[in-house]
Amino acid sequence: MSVITRQDAPAPVRERRRPAPGLIASLVLLGLVLVAVFAPSVLAPASPTANDFAAALQAPSAAHWFGTDEAGRDLFTRIVWGAAQSLLIGVGAAAVSLSLAVVLGTTAALAGRFVSGAIGLVIEILFAFPALLLALLLVAILGPSAWTQVLAVGIGTAPGYARIVRGQVLAAKDSGYVEAATSLGHPRPRIVFGHILPNSLRPLVAIFALSVGQSIVWASSLAFLGLGVAPPSSEWGALLDAGRPFITQAPWLVVIPGLVIVALALAATTLGKHVSIALEKGEKA
Amino acid sequence: MTRISSTDQVSPDVASVRPVAAAGLTASRAVVRARRVGERIVAAVLVLLGAATAAFLAQASLPGDRATTILNIRSGQAVERTPDELAPIIAQFGLDRPLVSQYLAYMGGLVRGDLGVSYQQFRPVWDIVGEQLWATLVLSLTAIALAWLIMVIWVTSTAGRGPRTRALGEFADTVTAGLPHYWLGIVLLLVFALNLGWFPVLGGTGPEALLLPALTLAIPLAGFMGQATRAEFERGLAQPFVVSARMRGMSDTGVRLRHVLRHAVLPAVTLSGWALGATISGAVVVESIFNRPGIGRVLVTAVSSQDIPVVTGIVVVIAAFYVVANLIVDLVYTAVDPRVRIA
């Protein structure tokens, strides 16, 4: 869904200002992460598991940009190689979360009075559990693993998005074009799938970007508590968990992976905000 | 870090345009208000009932034979058990009864304040939770108070100023709202406890040991509430009552503090109920970084040893706090903002 700007009309002055520096920084960072996912050896040619005990626990320097861990492994290399799994967990959790949110949210908004009341209640009940708590409950039942992380974070963050979807669908349902389609005698499935859903789910494109960032943060919180992927992996959460015992001697082992996660989440949020502003402008044009 | 949509809040434009109600209307208004309060209470009870049911289902859905699992968790082994060994466990937890009767027994227990028995420690869950609850509550209430303080000062001094200051304010809100607790906690610990030595590094229950953990929870919360308050604050600054207050000779700071702030904090009041749940769950991470006692640490231990009754017990208690806090916020909101009462 690309937004086409009309060339004939002179754009207002405000539109012509240069793009926000935040957006550029976010795109650069997301680009780097994508390179790390698909071609890690371009950024970090060394192996992420190469031990070098002579260079153990070294602070960040020119030779080791992000320092080294207790086995002398280069932290920068490990972060680059861990990007794929971390992003996969984030995207997976966001997909689980938004699919659940769409199913619950649309049913709550469109079903008959009884069903929508019941589902609305389910959403409120799930919302009453803070996301991390719901995730911990699932980890307790299923045991810690990457799959559990995806499921737990996905289900934990779904209720908030389900509320947003419900609001969007309700707004679309009461709109003029749906009223028009109804009075034209269009069948209900056509109205739901042709008018209500496309219009109410469009903002989810922006929310998806935001949700991937948030999911990576939640997943890393679980990993920090020792409830994620087990440490030999260089997934970012696992790096945090592995670095914890060395907080006082080698703080960079936790601070730097954490900073990478924060930066990525911030970039995803910024991108999501800009996409949603662009979508709103597109609707008005 | 779920975002709460503000769609169900009353926007300030819907201010009471209606004519002043005649005296006869007061009675019916009281009825409307009582009904509203009643509806809220029913909804709160239903949510609690659902949370308890979810907790029960979580216990029932533990994979494998439950009696074997319980026995193995208790002894720290993973072996097959003979029926003789399992019999007392089955009797103690009533595992041979049908699921519906187990469910009713569990719910009945909850009403009496009985959260079940820990698989690992042999003790009632309520005892385990009860002795740790206070420390966590102190932590989260301090964090919420600190978050309000930081947020009010920051928003009042940066909202509606020059473009640079505004951008800085917004940027700080966005960044801090997204900071994970584990990261912020470790950075604060490293800087203020290890390098500067202003605070004790490990544990302790004194007030000096409370500040860093509370700040860790408060800073992201302040950023989150700040986002909602800032938008409302800037809308407030454009209202006619600001001009009239300035014309009366009131100082800019005075207007901001006395008139605009009052309007602007309403969304943050709504968020405070949610914040109680959020800070308690954030305490899970913070308590393990700062080695503080509290239900967060009990929860992490219970999750990794699959001591499900403790996990669900804590979850039910936190859900109860969340529901009650939101109910109170709702009622306070009605009292603070007369527009909701009329609507």
User: Is B183–A259 a contact, with Cβ atoms under 8 angstroms apart?
Assistant: yes
DSSP 8-class letter at B184: H
Contacts A269 to B, Cβ<8 Å: 174, 178
Q: What would the pLDDT profile of B88-102 be if each residue is shown by its tens digit? A: 777 777 777 777 888
* pLDDT over 90 percentage in chain B: 6
Measured CA to CA, the distance from residue B268 to residue A174 in angstroms comes to 29
Residue A269's nearest CA partner among A223, A210, A218 is A210
Find the CB nearest A163 among B5, B180, B187: B5
Measured CA to CA, the distance from residue A152 to residue A164 in angstroms comes to 20
User: Is B2–A160 a contact, with Cβ atoms under 8 angstroms apart?
Assistant: yes
- Bridge partner list, B117: B124
Find the CB nearest A133 among B1, B2, B281: B281
Q: How far is A8 from chain B (nearest CA, A)?
A: 32
User: Is A164–B3 a contact, with Cβ atoms under 8 angstroms apart?
Assistant: yes
Q: Is B96 exposed, middle or buried (0-12, 13-18, 19+ CB in 10 A)?
A: exposed
Give A189's contacts (C-beta < 8 A, 6+ positions apart).
Answer: none
Find the CB nearest A136 among B277, B280, B299: B299
| Confidence at residue A92, expressed as pLDDT on a 0 to 100 scale | 92
Q: Which residue of B has its CA nearest to A257?
A: B183
Q: Are B264 and B190 in contact (CB under 8 A)?
A: no
Contacts A128 to B, Cβ<8 Å: 47, 50-51, 277, 319, 322-323
User: Is A255–B187 a contact, with Cβ atoms under 8 angstroms apart?
Assistant: yes
Find the CB nearest B315 among A137, A161, A225: A137
Give A278's contacts (C-beta < 8 A, 6+ positions apart).
Answer: A3
Angle B284-B288-B292 from CA coordinates, rounded to 5°: 95
Contacts B4 to A, Cβ<8 Å: 160, 163
* pLDDT for residue B66 is more than 80: no
Measured CA to CA, the distance from residue A98 to residue A86 in angstroms comes to 18
Give A242's contacts (C-beta < 8 A, 6+ positions apart).
Answer: A69, A231, A253
Measured CA to CA, the distance from residue B322 to residue B276 in angstroms comes to 6
* pLDDT for residue B266 is more than 70: yes
Find the CB nearest B285 among A124, A128, A224: A224
Q: Are A167 and A196 in contact (CB under 8 A)?
A: no
pLDDT: which is higher, A67 or B76:
A67
Q: How far is B186 from chain A (nearest CA, A)?
A: 8
**A to B CB pairs, distance under 8 Å:** 142
Give A186's contacts (C-beta < 8 A, 6+ positions apart).
Answer: A194
User: Is B186–A251 a contact, with Cβ atoms under 8 angstroms apart?
Assistant: yes
Measured CA to CA, the distance from residue B274 to residue B172 in angstroms comes to 22
Query: Quick one: tokens of A103?
Result: 């199913």
User: Is A122–B50 a contact, with Cβ atoms under 8 angstroms apart?
Assistant: yes
| Confidence at residue B150, expressed as pLDDT on a 0 to 100 scale | 93
Residue B7 CB neighbour total at 10 angstroms: 13
Q: Is A214 exposed, middle or buried (0-12, 13-18, 19+ CB in 10 A)?
A: buried
Length of chain B as a residue count? 343
- Taken in order B5, B8, B12, B14, is the CA torsion positive or negative? positive
The mean-pLDDT minimum among A66-70, A274-278, B19-23, B306-310 falls in: B19-23
Query: Quick one: tokens of B327?
Result: 């109910």
Query: Quick one: tokens of B319?
Result: 């859900």
Low-confidence ranges of chain A (pLDDT < 50): 1-13, 16
Residue B212's nearest CA partner among B142, B278, B275 is B142
User: Is B303–A227 a contact, with Cβ atoms under 8 angstroms apart?
Assistant: yes
Chain mean pLDDT for chain B: 78
| Confidence at residue B13, expressed as pLDDT on a 0 to 100 scale | 40
Q: How far is A5 from chain B (nearest CA, A)?
A: 27
User: Is B2–A161 a contact, with Cβ atoms under 8 angstroms apart?
Assistant: yes
Measured CA to CA, the distance from residue B256 to residue A209 in angstroms comes to 36
Contacts A261 to B, Cβ<8 Å: 180, 183
Angle B294-B296-B301 from CA coordinates, rounded to 5°: 105
Q: How far apart are the first and last CA of chain A?
A: 14
User: Is B282–A140 a contact, with Cβ atoms under 8 angstroms apart?
Assistant: no
- Bridge partner list, B124: B117
The mean-pLDDT minimum among A117-126, B185-194, B296-305 falls in: A117-126
DSSP 8-class letter at A15: H
The CB-side HSE value for B290 (13 A sphere, CA atoms) comes to 38
Residue A260 CB neighbour total at 10 angstroms: 25
* pLDDT for residue B149 is more than 90: yes
Q: Is B303 exposed, middle or buried (0-12, 13-18, 19+ CB in 10 A)?
A: buried
Mutation target among A136, A210, A255 for the B interface, most CBs of B within 10 A: A136
Contacts B2 to A, Cβ<8 Å: 127, 131, 157, 159-161
pLDDT: which is higher, B12 or A175:
A175
Measured CA to CA, the distance from residue A32 to residue A42 in angstroms comes to 10
Find the CB nearest B51 among A125, A131, A251: A125
Contacts A130 to B, Cβ<8 Å: 277-278, 280-281, 318, 322
Question: Looking up tokens 């302790």, which residue turns up?
Answer: B204
Q: Packing angle between helix B25-60 and helix B99-111, nearest 10 degrees?
A: 130
Q: Are A77 and A186 in contact (CB under 8 A)?
A: no
Q: How far is A186 from chain B (nearest CA, A)?
A: 30
Q: Which residue of B has its CA nearest to A213?
A: B178
Question: Looking up tokens 């600001």, which residue turns up?
Answer: B242
Measured CA to CA, the distance from residue B112 to residue B127 in angstroms comes to 14
Alpha helices in B76-203 (DSSP H): 83-93, 99-111, 125-158, 163-177, 181-188
* pLDDT for residue B199 is more than 90: no
Mutation target among A125, A212, A241, A260 for the B interface, most CBs of B within 10 A: A125
- Mean pLDDT in residue range B215-236: 89
- Mean pLDDT in residue range B171-187: 86
The pLDDT confidence band at residue B16, using thresholds 50, 70 and 90, is very low
Q: A270-284, B2-16, B118-132, B222-236: which has the highest mean pLDDT?
A: B222-236
| Confidence at residue B202, expressed as pLDDT on a 0 to 100 scale | 65
Query: Quick one: tokens of B295?
Result: 């239900």
User: Is A255–B3 a contact, with Cβ atoms under 8 angstroms apart?
Assistant: no
Query: Quick one: tokens of B249?
Result: 């000779």
Find the CB nearest B5 among A122, A159, A164: A164
The pLDDT confidence band at residue B15, using thresholds 50, 70 and 90, is very low
Q: Are A60 and A66 in contact (CB under 8 A)?
A: yes
